[in-house]
Amino acid sequence: MARVGLCCTFLEAPIKFRTTTARYVTTLAPKLRPGFLNELAVHNVRALDDAIAWCAAHGVGAFRVNSGLLPLYTHPDRGWTLAGPGGRGVAALLRAAGARARTSDVRLSFHPDQFVVPGSLRSEVVDASLRELEYMGEVADLIGAEQITIHGGGAQPGKLESLARLAEGVNRLSARARCRLVLENDDRVYTVEDLLPLSEQLELPLIYDVHHHRCNPDRLSVDRATELAAETWRGREPWVHLSSPAQGWKGSDPRPHADYIDPKDVPRSWLDRNLTIDVEAKAKELAVLRLQRWIKRTTVAHAA
């Protein structure tokens, strides 16, 4: 049966992640900055451990780790490292959170922000993107996160040229980061059909986002796209993404996500597969639990 996954944050559960800005850190005395960043990092990794425990207690099989777990880690001026004073005790806490995830069978993943574009035309954007991916690879290695999801990016001057740049960027990554990289179709530019050749070329799994596919369709049916994307995982449990449109499919823009998942948007073929469904809904854990209950009821009814 399909497992469901929670993305990054909670709506009602008392588990909160903290952040800061480089501007605020600059207002602190230099000797206080490492301690402040360490306090934030320790808090966030303990919150991650709590999030994994919550998932395990509620039968939620995956958790997407917020890319800002370690605030300002890659900032060009205020960045820090786990080996420095800002990282005191953080690596050990990350390993402990990862051990809990493995014991509880909670799959972990990352999904960088939209500014991470390793195939950008601008070299400074590529360099910054690779730094972000290397950071996530470092943390993923400590917690046992299986994948880091990226989109194809822009399409200037064309899709083929852009995907070639993306391949170049991917191949600059360390083995630690590259081995976890996966592609995802998006809702404006790159379809499943567009990305499958690059997925095969780079031997990167492809996450199938059915909402994006419905917004940005190609010649593939939902079931065929599911099948082809699953094959790229080469025997591993595939990941898929699911959301519903906030304004419904007849609204002016179907791209923004709704608070909850409309069961009509769940591909029925997914219910018979072993896969992980990341639930991208604004109601967060409430939406995950509601979908989980619906899947269980529907699966039992189907079996009967």
Q: Is 304 a residue whose pLDDT tops 60?
A: no
Q: What is the pLDDT of residues 60-98, one digit of tens each?
A: 999 999 999 999 999 999 999 999 999 999 999 999 999
Q: Is residue 266 part of a domain?
A: yes
Using CA atoms, how far apart are residues 136 and 152, in angstroms rounded to an integer? 18
Q: What is the pLDDT of residue 302?
A: 61
Using CA atoms, how far apart are residues 63 and 60, in angstroms rounded to an integer? 8
Q: What is the pLDDT of residue 236?
A: 96
Residue with tokens 């419904």: 248
Are 86 and 164 in contact by the 8 Å Cβ rule? The answer is no
Mean local confidence (pLDDT), 170-180: 98
Q: What is the pLDDT of residues 251-292, one digit of tens each?
A: 999 999 999 999 999 999 999 899 999 999 999 999 999 999
Total-model pTM = 0.96
Q: Is residue 85 part of a domain?
A: no
Q: What is the pLDDT of residue 208?
A: 98
Domain that holds residue 295: 186-304
Confidence label for 161 from pLDDT (cuts 50, 70 and 90): very high
Q: Is 25 a residue whose pLDDT tops 70?
A: yes
Q: Is residue 72 part of a domain?
A: no
Are 284 and 58 in contact by the 8 Å Cβ rule? The answer is no
Q: Is residue 134 part of a domain?
A: no
Q: Is 248 left (phi over 0), alpha (psi -120 to 50) or beta?
A: left
Q: Is 230 a residue whose pLDDT tops 90?
A: yes
Q: What is the pLDDT of residues 186-225, one digit of tens each?
A: 999 999 999 999 999 999 999 999 999 999 999 999 999 9
C-alpha 288: how far from its chain's center? 15
SS3 of 121, please?
coil
Mean local confidence (pLDDT), 110-117: 94
Q: Is 299 a residue whose pLDDT tops 90?
A: no
Using CA atoms, how far apart are residues 199 and 245, in angstroms rounded to an integer? 27
Q: What is the pLDDT of residue 301?
A: 63
Q: Is residue 198 part of a domain?
A: yes
SS3 of 107, please?
strand
Could you give the number of structural domains in the chain?
1
Q: What is the pLDDT of residue 193?
A: 98
Using CA atoms, how far apart are residues 6 and 285, in angstroms rounded to an integer? 6
Q: Is residue 250 part of a domain?
A: yes
- In one letter, which amino acid is 287? A
Q: Is residue 211 part of a domain?
A: yes
Q: What is the pLDDT of residue 191?
A: 98
Q: For the domain that residue 218 is a member of, what is the CATH number? A: 3.20.20.150
Q: What is the pLDDT of residue 101?
A: 98
C-alpha 116: how far from its chain's center? 12
Q: What is the pLDDT of residue 1?
A: 77
C-alpha 3: how far from its chain's center? 16
Cβ neighbours around 114 below 10 Å, total: 8
Average model confidence (pLDDT) across the chain: 96
Q: What is the pLDDT of residue 117?
A: 96
Using CA atoms, how far apart are residues 222 and 28, in angstroms rounded to an integer? 52
Q: Is residue 156 part of a domain?
A: no
Q: What is the pLDDT of residue 300?
A: 64
Mean local confidence (pLDDT), 235-247: 97
